[in-house]
Amino acid sequence: MNIEPAGGQGGIGQSPVISTPESRMALQNLAAHQKSGLSGVITLKTEELFAMARKSSLWPLTFGLACCAIEMISAYMPKHDFDRYGVVTWPSPRQSDVMIVAGTVVKKMAEPIKLLYEQMPAPKWVIAMGSCATCGGPYVRSYSVVMGVDQIIPVDVYVPGCPPRPEALQHGILELQRKIQDEPRLKRGL
Ligand code: SF4
């Protein structure tokens, strides 16, 4: 699989489209190709290219459960500018690939949350935002609250706090992007 670097006939000194360890490796490959006469060509494993595309185009499902959801909504406002990470909120599970569970998971909501998760196409990821979604938070040992959303669906990233600030969610999204980018390497056991 070949991709063009920024500026078409780019070289080591030019800004690449991406700035990850993979992109740096790709630029090293580019230097090798230039020496061999294949100027302007970068080689990359398809799985790494797909991971790069996936992490740069995350569509979180828009739904919230309690007070943490207000912080999540605030995080989507222009001040934090999640668009620059390729994060676009989406009001349907059918096209979303990230579920941000923001708020208290009461037992009555457990089944609807599971259903929404199952309606999302794979690959998909889950962020547990706040103490309630992580472990029940202040409602520990409550008769009506699930002690963490990971009791019903798998969670990839936990964002601590009660509530976490938008910057904490931003950090959680960056951690998720790192995890997605590393998935091909981890699958190969590297
Ligand atoms: S973690 Fe705190 S702020 Fe978030 S939903 Fe629970 S009680 Fe509300």
Sequence-ordered list of residues with C-beta below 8 angstroms from that of 148, at least 6 positions apart, any chain = 105, 128, 133, 134, 135, 136, 155
pLDDT at res. 43 = 79
pLDDT in tens, 81-116: 999 999 999 999 999 999 999 999 999 999 999 999
Atom of ligand 1 nearest to the CA of 134: 1
Q: For ligand 1, atom 3, name the residue with the nearest CA.
A: 163
For β-strands 2-3 and 42-43, DSSP reports them as: antiparallel
pLDDT in tens, 117-174: 999 999 999 999 999 999 999 998 899 999 999 999 999 999 999 999 999 999 999 9
| Total-model pTM | 0.79
Supply angle C-alpha 134, 82, 23, rounded to 5.
100
Question: Environment class of residue 122 by beta-carbon count within 10 Å: exposed (0-12), middle (13-18) or buried (19+)?
Answer: exposed
Strand residues in the chain grouped as ranges (E): 2-3, 42-43, 60-61, 98-102, 125-129, 157-159
Q: For ligand 1, atom 2, name the residue with the nearest CA.
A: 162
Q: How many CB atoms are closer than 10 A to CB 145?
A: 19
Residue 170 Cα to ligand 1 midpoint, Å, equals 17
SS3 127: strand
In this model, does residue 37 exceed pLDDT 50? yes
Pocket test for ligand 1, best of 106, 131, 147 (most atoms within 8 A of CB): 131
